[in-house]
Amino acid sequence: MATIAPAVLPPEIASAIVNPVAYGEWNGIKEKFRWARDNMPVGLVQAEGYMPFWAITRHEDIMTVSKDNARFLNAPKSVVLGPIAVQMLTHMITGGSPHLVRSLVTMDAPEHMDYRKLTQSWFMPKNLASLEEKIRGIARASVDAMLATGGSCDFVHQVSALYPLHVVMQILGVPHEDEPLMLKLTQEMFGGEDPDLNRARSVELTPEQVTQFVIEAVRDFEGYFMKLAAARRADPKDDVATVIANAVIDGEPISDRNAAGYYIIVAAAGHDTTSASTAGAMWALAKDPEQFARIKADRSLLPGLIEEAIRWTTPVQHFMRTAAEDCEIGGQAIAKDDWLMLCYVSGNHDERVFPDPDRFDASRGPNRHVAFGAGVHQCLGLHLARLEMRILFDELLDRIDSVELAGTPLRASSTFVGGPKTLPIRFVPS
Ligand code: HEM
C-alpha cells in the first residue's frame, strides 16, 4: 500500500544531497545516505533553491526505477541535478529544453534506441577485442611516464586523467594534440561546482556563474565537434566521429545539435568516469599492501579489483528521472511528473546487498553494483571501461613492487561526476 503523506527527508540530509562539497568530503554523505536507506529510502528532498525531488537510496529501488524505462523517463526534465536558477537559464538558452546538451541520456524510446544503435557495435566486446593491443600500447606508455617520475607522483595528473582520455579519443577520432583541450572542457563541464576544475578557478561562484562556465565549455565542445564532423563528411575514416557525422535515421541525416550532443557524451562520459575509478583502484591498493601483493601475484583477481574499484568510487554519483504516471516505489506514492534522483553512491553502499560496504574487497562476490546504471540507458562504455582498467593494472602490477600514499588524496566537489582529483603516491619500481 502506498503511504498518503510524503516522506520528507530531514533538512540536514536534504542539504547534503544537493551539496557538491559533501561529495568531496565523502564520509559524511555516505552516513547521510545510510540514514536515508534505513529510515526513508524514498525520501523527498526539499532544499533551498532546488525543485523538490525524491532521493531513491536503496539498491533495490534504484534497480527498479532504472529498469522501468516506460514509467521513468529521461527526456521531460534535466537528467542531472541543478538549482532552479540553472534550470531557468538552460531553458532560456536552449529555447525551451531542460537539457543543455541533447544526447543519449536525455532521450527516451523510440528515439533513444535509434541513436544508441548507431555506435553500439563500436563499444561491444567483439570490436573492443580488436583494439586490445592498441589499448595495451597506450597503457604501457602511461606506466612508462609514471616510472619516469622516479618513484613518486600524483597518480591522477600523471596517469589516470590521461590514459582513458587517450583511449576514448583514439576511438572517437580526435587527434592526440587536441586531448588537453578535451580534458579541460570535460572538467569544466562536469566540474563546474569544483573551484579546482571550473573555468574561473574560484570558490565564490553563484549558480548562474557556474552555469555560464558550463555553457561556455559546451559551446567550445560544439564548435570543435562541428569542425570534426565536417572533416569526416569530406574525408571518412574508420572511427566513431565518422559514424556520427554521417548518421542517418529514418532516411534523414541527424541534426547538428544531436550530432554535437553525441560527440560530447562519448568524449566526456568516456574518460572522466574511467579516470575516477582507475584512481580509486590505485588509492585502494596504496592503502592495502596485502591486497596489492595478492593481486600482483594472481592476475585472475584483476576483474574483481576493477569491479570493486568502480563500486567503491562510484564515479557517476547520480542521474535523474521523471515519472510518466502516478505510481509507487518502495511503498511511497509518486505522482506523474515528479523528479527522482537515482543515488548511485547510496545504492553501492547499501548493506542489504554489500556486506561491510565501506571496505574495499577485490574478492567481493557477487558485486552487483549500480555504478553503470541499469535498463536501456545502462552505460554504453562499460565493457571499454573494464577493459581499459584491466589492461592498465596488468601492466602496472608487472612494473611496480609496492605503492603507498604520499599525502591525502582529495575527491572532487561535485554532485554528478566525482572521484579523486589528486592522489599523491610513492612507489618502488620492480
Ligand atoms: C551512461 C557510468 C564509462 C559512455 C552511463 C550511465 C552511468 C555511467 C551511470 C547512465 C546509466 C543509466 O542511466 O542507467 C559510467 C562509469 C564509467 C563509464 C561509472 C567508468 C567507470 C564510460 C565510457 C564510455 C561511456 C568509457 C565511452 C564511450 C556512456 C554513454 C552513456 C553512458 C554514451 C549513455 C547511454 C544511454 O543513455 O543510452 N555511464 N560510465 N561511459 N555512458 Fe558511461
pLDDT tens-digit map of 88-133? 888 988 899 999 899 999 999 999 999 999 999 999 999 999 999 9
Please report the ipTM that was assigned to this predicted complex: 0.99
Range among 90-99, 167-176, 204-213, 319-328 with highest mean pLDDT value: 319-328
Whether pLDDT at 314 is above 60:
yes
Would you place residue 200 in the very low, low, confident or very high pLDDT band (cuts 50, 70, 90)? low
Q: 360 CA to middle of ligand 1, Å?
A: 22
Which one is predicted more confidently, 209 or 302? 302
Mean pLDDT of the chain: 94
Q: Please identify, by atom number, the ligand 1 atom nearest to the C-alpha of residue 105.
A: 37
What pLDDT is attached to residue 188?
82
Q: 102 CA to middle of ligand 1, Å?
A: 15
Strands (E), 275-389: 318-323, 327-329, 332-334, 339-343
CA distance 18 to 13: 9
What pLDDT is attached to residue 6?
83
59-90 b/e with 16+ CB inside 10 Å = b?
A: bebbbbbbebbebbbbbebbbbbbbeebbebb
C-alpha pair distances (Å), 248 with each of 115, 243, 253, 254: 10, 9, 4, 6
Q: Are 270 and 339 in contact (CB under 8 A)?
A: no
Whether pLDDT at 172 is above 60:
yes
Convert the pLDDT of each residue in 353-367 to its tens digit.
999 999 999 999 999
CA distance 253 to 112: 16
Identify which of 372, 376, 383 to mutate to test ligand 1's pocket (most ligand atoms within 8 A of the CB): 372
Would you place residue 283 in the very low, low, confident or very high pLDDT band (cuts 50, 70, 90)? very high
Tell me, using a 6 A CB cutoff, whether residue 374 lines ligand 1: yes
CA dihedral 71, 75, 78, 84 (to 10 degrees): -90
Tell me, using a 6 A CB cutoff, whether residue 329 lines ligand 1: no
CA distance 324 to 304: 37
* Cα–Cα nearest to 280, from 412, 376, 391, 383: 412
Whether pLDDT at 74 is above 80:
yes
Tell me, using a 6 A CB cutoff, whether residue 273 lines ligand 1: yes
Would you place residue 203 in the very low, low, confident or very high pLDDT band (cuts 50, 70, 90)? low
Q: 380 CA to middle of ligand 1, Å?
A: 5
What pLDDT is attached to residue 167?
95
What pLDDT is attached to residue 189?
81
Convert the pLDDT of each residue in 403-420 to its tens digit.
999 999 999 999 999 999
Q: Please identify, by atom number, the ligand 1 atom nearest to the C-alpha of residue 313.
A: 19
Identify which of 72, 121, 273, 367 to mutate to test ligand 1's pocket (most ligand atoms within 8 A of the CB): 273
Q: In the chain, what percentage of residues exceed pLDDT 90?
A: 86
Whether pLDDT at 193 is above 80:
no
Q: Is 291 helix (H, G, I), strand (E, B) or coil?
A: helix
For residues 197-225, give the mean pLDDT.
79
Q: In the chain, what percentage of residues exceed pLDDT 70?
A: 96
CATH class of domain segment(s) 11-429: mainly alpha
What pLDDT is attached to residue 206?
78
Which one is predicted more confidently, 285 or 216? 285
Whether pLDDT at 192 is above 70:
no
Q: Please identify, by atom number, the ligand 1 atom nearest to the C-alpha of residue 373.
A: 14
